[in-house]
């Protein structure tokens, strides 16, 4: 029994260390143009995440996860900064390890989407534009709805 538990625990630990590590291909062997493009994409995602923290219609965590992936391919230093951030680091780690988000973050994201659609409908006062807004957010809403909740 004890031997079975150890064999179950070991693969999990290996997977977790693989997920958190930086890109296995060293930056020095990659094209400088690709590295620059990944850095620019990462910085753009961080900028969108900052806007998402201010504006209710943009997500924050999604852009930080994308920025972490971009920085994993271009700048391990920037990736470590994001992962060590006290506010967003735990969310990114949870996503990388378990592909889940905390219940509170899920509720806030779904509520924000619903309120944004209602607010947009109120401001637009056009049934066609309101329907377009609803069509644009239904995909992200379903994606968030189906995400597992972290423990």
Q: In terms of Cα–Cα distance, which of 81, 92, 141, 144 is closest to 117? A: 141
Residues 122 and 79 placed together within one structural domain of the fold: no
**pLDDT 10s digits, 55-89:** 767 778 788 888 999 998 898 899 999 889 888 88
Boundary-marking domain end, from 99, 115, 135: 99
**pLDDT 10s digits, 2-23:** 454 444 444 433 334 434 455 5
Q: Which domain holds residue 46?
A: 1-99
Residues 51 and 105 placed together within one structural domain of the fold: no
Residues 14 and 64 placed together within one structural domain of the fold: yes
Residues 6 and 53 placed together within one structural domain of the fold: yes
Residues 54 and 83 placed together within one structural domain of the fold: yes
Total domains in the fold of the chain: 2
Residues 13 and 71 placed together within one structural domain of the fold: yes
């Amino acid at each position: 029994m004890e031997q079975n538990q150890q064999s179950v625990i070991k693969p999990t630990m290996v997977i977790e260390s693989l997920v958190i590590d930086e890109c296995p291909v060293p930056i020095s062997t990659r094209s400088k143009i690709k590295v620059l493009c990944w850095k620019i994409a990462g910085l753009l995602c961080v900028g969108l995440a900052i806007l998402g923290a201010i504006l209710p219609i943009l997500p924050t965590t999604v852009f930080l996860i994308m920025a972490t992936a971009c920085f994993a391919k271009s700048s391990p230093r920037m990736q470590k900064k994001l992962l060590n951030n006290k506010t967003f680091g735990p969310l990114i780690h949870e996503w990388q390890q378990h592909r889940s988000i905390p219940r509170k973050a899920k509720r806030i994201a779904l509520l924000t989407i619903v309120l944004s659609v209602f607010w947009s409908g109120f401001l637009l006062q056009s049934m066609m534009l309101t329907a377009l807004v609803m069509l644009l957010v239904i995909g992200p809403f379903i994606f968030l709805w189906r995400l597992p909740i972290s423990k």
